[in-house]
Structure 1
Amino acid sequence: MSQVTLSIRYLRDEQMLLHQGGLYWLSIDQVGDAEVLGRQFLGALEKVRSATLVCCAQDPKQLVAKLDKRLGPVELRLFEVTEADIRLALTSLPLELNRAAVARGSPIVLILPVVSWQGFEILHLQRWCENMAIWLRQRACTLLVLCHGQAPKLHADLIRLNERLSGLAQLYRRDGGIRYQLNYWHSYLGVCSTQEFELDAQPDGFGLTQIERSNPQPTRIEDQRLYLTLRSVLEGAPPLSQQWHLFENYDDLFFEASRVRAATVIVGVTSNLQVEALAQQLYDLRERCGSSLKIIVRELASCLRYRDERLLLSCGANITVPHGTSLAYFFSLVDSVQGQIWRHSRTIDFKALLERLRPPVERGVLSPHRFIATLDQVYDGAAGEVSHQLLKLQPRNDLSIEQYIDQINLRRFGDIACVLDGALYLFLFACRADGVAPALRKICRLPWNNLFSECQFFSGVDGLPRQAFLDAQNTPVSVYLAATTTDAGSVSNSQQHAYAPQRTTLPVTEYCP
């Protein structure tokens, strides 16, 4: 028997050859693409061969009318099944092919819409595949099923029937391109699985794109078109397609997400108190599912700090979507992460990462010695997940230390300062360079440039005059800040260092009637 092939240009033989007696299934989103691929397959058959084309709910003559007369088998037998008779024809297909006297050893093409399989449960579908496989082996025929329309559940069932099918693949359009996803494929040359290719569409059929031919072909996973999302993230909007699965709670979402490998998982966050627990879940999910999984965190209320974002990204998120992003633009961001591979290190220790990203339990004005010791603690354990800002602020000449210190309010844990040689050294934990100016506006009660004449940046603790800090006398008690308020949720153990109330008696200086 001569070779039978899909004839997709530049695809390797082991990825498109069909063996004798095999049952191959291609799920194709658009009917037009199914027709093009059907003609491409028929056109590649040698002229000495006889072939059979069965079309359900469409005229086979119209399909082959565009086939080059110089191509294809010498004899091409055409059969049409009406829409009303499709289910009956599928159930009795081996008998119908016997009645049609299909030639032994000939290839058969079956083109039908996906709605034809409505009502076929997994066991019914399994029996159909088994019966067809037996008939094909007995007659040494090869059957290619081109099923057009979207049916994620049907395709998921077919993946489980890998012992009954000889090959399974998908052809769909996305982001302006044509994707051919090969789930598994048996041929005389061996077995291929979990690969995806980008195709070009030409009048005579499909072929690999120039970029695809020049680059190594990546391994793909069959669930990459699935979207698993928390229902609240969509703001009441319905699922965009059958590939979208909505969940009411995190437990169900993460349970299902733990079973996929390249799907898109979308979660929401409403408070920074959720961040560390969510980061642990993302870390575990990424460890289990690998780097092809796409994880998106949407901020449902304005709550994520820079440190929180970096923690989530380091633990597995591909992207965080800020609060206030419109739903339409959110969907655009979801599309933008498709095909991404998570590139962060997968060898990090979660507890060590959490400790690095937790601010020191210090705030306000410290002594120079304590200030430099705190900086050593932060920078010695840093691994690049977040950036910090270290500044030297030179006060204006007409201000005393007490005057400009009184205008500064450091509330966050990790934001510390000290006075050395009349200058204010300020450290901002987990702060980007573009966040310095907004931070200074919050820290200073007056405009900061009215208090200070110069601002100098240091890249790290090594740029400081260390010996001067170690030799400096303690800062006078009068310039220490009594930080009486903190941002909620800044550190988990902040209550251990909260101020305790003390009883006191106030003298009465005048009579109150």
Structure 2
Amino acid sequence: MPDNTSSTPDFLYRITIDGLPVEMECLRTGAIYLINFDEWDDCTLLLRQILRKADVSTRGVLITTSDASASVQRMQDTISAHDLRTFRFIEGSLTALKTLTNDLDATIRPHQRTIILMLPESVTSQISQEHRRAILASAQQWIAKNDCAALILSTGGNLTRNSSAMLENNDLLAGLVHLTRISETQLEYRCAYWRSALGVTGVRNLSIIQKVDELHVQADMTAQDPMPTVADGNRYIIERSVLKDFGQIHEAGWEIIDSREQVYERARQQVNATVIFALNSFQQLPEIARLIHSLRRERGPLIKLVVRESISQLRLRDEQNLLDCGATLVLGTDLSYTRFKSLLENIQTVRYTRELSQSVDSLFPEEDIRGVHGVVAPSTFLTRVHARIKQDLKDSRQTGAKNGASKANKKSMEFLGLLVSMQPVPGLSAQQALNQLNIRRFEDLACSVADEVYVFLHGCLPEVVPAVLQQLFRLPFDEIFINHTVFEDLSSIQGALQHIEERMSQLDDVPQASTDPATESAPGENAIRYAPQRVRLSLV
């Protein structure tokens, strides 16, 4: 996604661990950062990720020992896209480390570059506390003079055992992190402090998961909430299309941004602000849910995350899923500006207390968004509805087992949606009635059997059925059908599906009229017809 942090120079690298808070991934000029590892392989793993995800505008210097030369050689395809100079100093040589800045001045023009220094245990084990501070002080002056930033990636227990001594160097180190491997795929990212152009971060303990050769933040294990990087409690960051129904809006503290990606990047710098996304189509739902989930996981419980829909397609299940993904509030389309503003003011003291879902994909499966929908054959209708019922029952049982659901909320857990049976007005065939349908929401299905129309509305509440049907049909619903029956519980839905199967079996035994549009009977063709008469009109 596009970077919107203009306060960070383009030539600086970032700690590009997916899900890392933005103020912890940024560096600043004139500063030195240290990340210590227990294992050399983890050091090279993170370095590869940093280089692979670097922007083309970054400019750096990578300095390694012979221990790392093979790893660097394997990164050539990764680093060819941006300006990175690579050097190697003699393994285990403390003297080479002390003269490093002089050697760089003699070799390259280091101005405005990120200096990445990989130090294996063979080097770090030789550095005493006295030497460490002297080297850091000299390096810090050189870094500031050249408008650079330095990232030291070190391994070895010497630094780990003397972590308290490293904290004493906080005036020389802008950031101090230790990355520990817990298991084959699990790591712990322990940040003592991190100062960047976006603010200061104190102690943070993050659970990291490794997926193939990528590191991702899994959870924030910090006991306390992160402190705001700025006083952002009265700040509103709003996607422009959210306000399209309200005309020109000018409110103090409202930052109106054109694109969703820019809103997301801006929100990554906030802790207590209100962020509002626009949902303009049902297909955007999984994307927005992922952005909200990422922000909630990264920014904590204080930030207010709001979704406003402009499509009138969300149902109770969708809203609940958005809330489980981290949303504070979901707003509908029929809101006056006064009501809209009032609802936003009401959530300013709200703290997110729900249990955040572990996976967005489980709440918004890809097959739900891109699956079959609209008018289908009766056999397809039966197959899809049965499959939907089976899947939802499985999901509800898993949710109930996890949350310890009581009998009081068991019915809501097993809520699947509902089935509607409709009989067209005389003279209008079921097929012609279906032609007036405009289903845009996936997993909403319709079919016709004999003289009846059936519609399955996934996640719909019984009390809103008339309003939903009015939206689905191009013509007024009550002018197309003389009556309709709503099957809202599991047993009645299954009974209606059985009735459809029986009607299909009966129709299989009777010769069917052609459904070709060219031969289909027109409405009222059996009514009395009058023969046309030729008349002559006189011209006046």
Asked if these proteins are the same fold (TM beyond 0.5), I'd say no
Relative to the length of structure 1, the TM-score reads: 0.39
Which has the higher Rg, Structure 1 or Structure 2? Answer: 1
